[in-house]
Structure 1
Amino acid sequence: MAEAAAGRKTRVGPYELGKTIGEGSFAKVKLARHSRTGDVYAIKVLDRNHVLRHKMIEQIKREISTMKLIKHPNVVQLHEVMASKSKIYMVLEFVDGGELFDKIVNSGRLGEDEARRYFHQLINAVDYCHSRGVYHRDLKPENLLLDLNGSLKVSDFGLSAFSPQTKEDGLLHTACGTPNYVAPEVLADKGYDGMAADVWSCGIILFVLMAGYLPFDDANLMKLYTLICKANVSCPPWFSSGAKKLIKRILDPNPHTRITIAEMLEDEWFKKDYKPPHFEQGEGVSLDDVDAAFNDSEGTS
């Protein structure tokens, strides 16, 4: 798929690329408009040479294929994948309400009912993706977007884990993620269960939403790791007893005794005003574009 410069605008297939709205270590996210429909998308641009150099082709193909199959109202939708000689383009749903993180920065903290509503949506998304064998591993407020109706959308689901994943023991072995949100077992580097690690990160997010600050924080990384591994959570006085109890069960440093999502759905505090997600399962998703985007790069160095 060739890139064509139309005047000042760069085009990728039917999409006209606009300004950069996000940047990672080897990817940029650009705003894009479909030239025929006028619909707005976010296009993630990956550097193909970087992908090849780090032998990430199979990994990324698998992640992207999984992402295409994930259709959930609280997960940013991947529409299609294209490629040029030097780039891989992932066309994503554009979510226009900003980051949940900005809401915390602007409000200081959220009320318990509002925090719980976002937490419900987060857990629904995480639970669904886990059922598809996808673990996020970098859950934090910056990866939680809001649409204009105030619905939460998890971004980068399954696309944050680019390195070789499960080893022979069935555990993940890559310490990734933002330190403050990372589970103790991830830091211990002895292998970890992606489900339990994601649940821990969700607990940190819930705490931050209601407190307006992090439960474990220190400028010194080693001190921060010690705080996380001890997991002595001190909840502020305005947390209800139900919220405190649930947060303590989520921020359990032992992943084997940590609350699971199934158990969370039975928790009294969590169950208040809970609405199970209603959505249609996607049918007939084509993965041809995923294969096509990578085919001419197979075997090249």
Structure 2
Amino acid sequence: MAMAQACRFLHQILAGVERVHQTNVVHRDMKPENLLLDERECIKIVDFGLSNTFQDGQLLQTACGSPCYAAPEMIAGNQYFPPMVDVWSCGVILFALVCGFLPFEDQNHSELYKKILNAEYEVPNFISKEVAGLIAGMLTTDPAARMTLEDIRKHVWYQQIPEASLKDREDDQLDEAILDQLDSYGFPREYAMKCLQNNKHNHVTTTCP
């Protein structure tokens, strides 16, 4: 995959993760299979079956998700700060985007867990030092030292292209077809417009195609 395209996808993935975290939800199963592309080739995060809510400062302990993408603190059975496990998984996704394979793979689960706990992975020589450094920052075993979303956005590799997570239309330009469809479902047009413009998360906005 072209580096600019991988970078664009990373912008959109992180924007989605950030929005999820702002609602005090952690996904806990971030992986390529749960990232869909719409007709504009924009990322949509799906499958929140393993997600959970959390309060500010709260630690969770349930280990879940796909082992190859799971953070070491989760693998170790430790309590963990929810947002940072999603950051680790995004680091694995970024590695897969630019390298074409996963950083942590082993048919023996014990060996796989050992690699994850020690962040043992090999960086191919065809990727740049900049993206390798970004990946290393996201795949830091100590969650307190791991890059945050803010740190990632400041990184030189992330900033190689203009911010790509913004909508390509103005906020006040709502899709008339969607509004008509919502109206046909029994959601009054004016109420639907207010919910969408105010970024409300309710039965109306989750019905939008």
TM-score surpassing 0.5?
yes
What letter is aligned with 1:283?
N
Structure with a larger share of its residues in strand: 1
Cα deviation 1:124-148 (Å, max 9, x = unaligned): 1111211221111000000000112
Q: Unaligned 5+ residue runs, structure 1?
A: 1-109, 290-301
Q: Unaligned 5+ residue runs, structure 2?
A: 172-195, 205-209
Corresponding position of 1:230 = 118
> 152, 160, 165: which is aligned to 2:50?
160
Secondary structure, counterpart of 1:210 in structure 2: helix
Q: Does 1:250 find its partner at 2:138?
A: yes
Distance 2:147 2:137 in 1: 6
**Residue correspondences, number:** 177
> Shift in Å at residue 205 of structure 1?
0.4
Secondary structure, counterpart of 1:238 in structure 2: coil
Q: Does 1:135 find its partner at 2:26?
A: yes
> Shift in Å at residue 156 of structure 1?
2.2
Identity among equivalent pairs (%): 36
Corresponding position of 2:11 = 120
Give the TM-score, by structure 2 length: 0.77
> 171, 180, 190: which is aligned to 2:59?
171
What letter is aligned with 1:124?
A
Structure showing greater radius of gyration is 1
Does the 8 A contact of 1:250 with 1:259 survive in 2? yes
Residues 1:140 and 1:124: Cα distance change in structure 2 (over 3 Å): same
Distance 2:201 2:136 in 1: 43
State the Cα RMSD in Å: 2.3
Corresponding position of 2:151 = 263
Q: Does 1:221 find its partner at 2:109?
A: yes
> Shift in Å at residue 282 of structure 1?
4.4
> Shift in Å at residue 286 of structure 1?
7.7
Secondary structure, counterpart of 2:44 in structure 1: strand
